[in-house]
Amino acid sequence: MGAGETELMLKGYGLTTAEFFYRMPDFRHVLNSYVWQDYDLAPDHPRLFRFIEFWQDSIEGPLHSVRFTHRRLLSSGNWENIVGEFTLH
């Protein structure tokens, strides 16, 4: 993980993975898939929607559907005060 990725995560970005199902240009009855992954901001997902717009404007295979998941890799943790002692020999 590079310094740029860490900075994005500290700014609230999470890893978004999307699977695009699209029709083959020459064989419209055949569906193919493409996996895209980038750091993005939930819930608006501006990078994902910008890529979808790029696809629709620049790629011949028309989109059938898109499914995606988003995972914040850094988030506030839960803190509990636990009193205990471990003895190691």
**Alpha-carbon distance 21 to 31, whole Å?**
6
Instruction: At 53, give phi and psi (nearest 5°).
Output: -65, -40
- What residue ranges do the domains of the chain occupy? 3-71
80 pLDDT exceeds 70? no
Q: Is 48 exposed, middle or buried (0-12, 13-18, 19+ CB in 10 A)?
A: buried
As given in the structure block, the two tokens for residue 47 are 């990078």
Tens-digit pLDDT profile for residues 11-27: 888 899 999 999 998 99
pLDDT of residue 78: 53
**Alpha-carbon distance 2 to 74, whole Å?**
15
pTM of the full structure: 0.75
Q: How many CA atoms lie within 13 A of 5 on its CB side?
A: 11
